A and B are shown apart, each in its own frame.
Chain A
Amino acid sequence: MDGGLTTVTRERMLSGGSDGLRLQEPRSRLRADVPDDRAIAYRVSLREVFDGLRALIGQVSGLLILAQARRGRDLRDMPTIAVARERWREAVETLGRLDPPADRAADRERLRLAADHIDAVLARIDRMRGGLTDPDIMDAARHLTAAYRLLQSICDHSIGLAMVDLRDACCCCGRTLGFEGAGT
Chain B
Amino acid sequence: MTQYSIWVLEYAYVTKFHRSGVLYGAHNQGYLKLPYCYTVIKGNGHVAMVDVGYNDKDYGKAIADGLGVKNWHSPRTVLAEIGLRPEDVDTIFISHAHFDHFGNVEDFPRATFYIQEREIAKWVWAMSLPERMRFVLSGIDPGDILRGVELACNRRLVCVDGDCEDVLPGIDLHAAPDTHTWGSMWIAVRNDGRRESQDVWVLAGDLAYQFENLGDSGAGGAPDGMFIPVGLAVGSQMNLIATTEQMVKQVGNETRRVIPIHEERLRDRFPSRITDKGLRITEICLAGGVRSLVA
Contacts and interface: CB of A to CB of B under 8 A. Distances in A.
Task: Please say whether chains A and B are actual partners in one complex.
Answer: yes
B5 to A, nearest CB: 25
Interface in A44-62: 48, 51-52, 54-59, 61-62
Q: Which of B98, B100, B137, B146: most chain A CB closer than 10 A?
A: B146
Contacts of A68: 149, 152-153, 157
Contact of A163 (B34, B59, B69, B148): B59
B23 to A, nearest CB: 11
Nearest to A68: B152
Contact of B117 (A52, A66, A157): A66
Given A62-B124, A69-B159, A180-B16, A152 B209 contact: no
A184 B262 contact: yes
Interface residues of B, number: 55
Given A69-B152, A141-B153, A164-B99, A58 B145 contact: yes
A92 interface: no
Given A84-B128, A165-B137, A184 B36 contact: yes
A166 B134 contact: no
Contacts of B152: 64-65, 68-69, 137
B21 A181 contact: yes
Interface string B1-20: 00000000000001111101
A142 to B, nearest CB: 9
Interface in B235-262: 262
Interface string B116-136: 010011011101100100110
A184 B34 contact: yes
B148 A61 contact: yes
Interface stretch (B60-68, B185-193, B218-226, B286-294): B60-68
A144 B145 CA distance: 11
Nearest to A47: B131
A134 interface: yes
A169 B140 CA distance: 10
A183 interface: yes
Contact of A134 (B18, B153, B159): B153
A52 B134 CA distance: 11
Interface string B137-152: 1111111011011101
Contact of A66 (B34, B124, B138): B124
A51 B145 contact: no
A164 B149 contact: no
Given A62-B127, A183-B138, A171 B67 contact: yes
A55 B137 contact: yes
Contacts of A48: 131
A140 B148 CA distance: 13
A144 B58 CA distance: 16
A80 B128 contact: yes
B145 A61 contact: yes
A61 B157 CA distance: 13
Contacts of A162: 59, 62
A9 B196 CA distance: 71
Contacts of A176: 66
B31 interface: yes
B159 A65 contact: yes
Contacts of B21: 170-171, 173, 181, 184
Given A55-B127, A83-B128, A61 B142 contact: yes
B262 A58 contact: no
Nearest to A183: B139
A94 to B, nearest CB: 11
Given A145-B146, A181-B34, A166 B128 contact: no
Given A80-B128, A173-B18, 7 more contacts: A55-B128, A57-B145, A58-B124, A141-B146, A157-B65, A181-B34, A183-B139
Q: Which 10 pairs between the two chains have the least Cβ-Cβ distance? A: A58-B142, A182-B67, A180-B68, A62-B124, A169-B138, A170-B232, A59-B127, A180-B16, A183-B139, A68-B152
9 contacts: A51-B131, A58-B145, A69-B152, A69-B157, A141-B150, A162-B59, A179-B68, A181-B67, A181-B68
